[in-house]
Homo-oligomer: A and B are copies of this chain.
Amino acid sequence: MPDVVMGKHTLIEFHGCDRGVLSDTPAVERHMRAAADASGLTVVESVFHRFKPWGVSGVVIISESHLAVHTWPEHGYAAVDLFTCGDARPDGAVGYLTKAFRSAGVRLATHDRGFPSKGGGP
């Protein structure tokens, strides 16, 4: 646990998702940008790629840090992570994506990001 917290990083697992949605690169990008909006985050830029034979990877750069996704359509699984600074809360994005991906189950864990207040050792 860092003494000085600079951000919150939430790792979110969406499983039991719609395979068609998770393999549709434009849809995934549109949903990720909308998810940022749903959490009141400011989108700066997004970059998405489709990998063969399946799977989409993409990142939305937000003023408050980033929102990234990697999908495995063949498993109905999407790994999302949301790094935020300040008071931003992931709830809006998580709720939006649960519906957009038609996810049957969501797990998430939030980790404080930052550094110790003293010393430099590991």
Chain A interface residues (CB < 8 Å from chain B): 2, 4, 6-7, 9, 11, 13, 15-16, 44-45, 47, 49, 51, 57-59, 61, 63, 65-66, 68, 70, 72, 75, 77, 79, 81, 83, 85, 104-107, 109, 111, 113-116, 119-122
Contact = CB atoms under 8 A, between A and B. Distances in A.
Contacts of A11: 9, 111, 113
B45 A13 contact: no
Copies in the complex: 2
Nearest to A13: B115
A106 to B, nearest CB: 6
A113 B68 contact: no
Taking chain A's interface residues, is the majority helix, strand, or loop, or is none over half, making it mixed? strand
A107 to B, nearest CB: 6
A65 B57 CA distance: 7
5 contacts: A2-B13, A49-B61, A59-B59, A59-B61, A66-B68
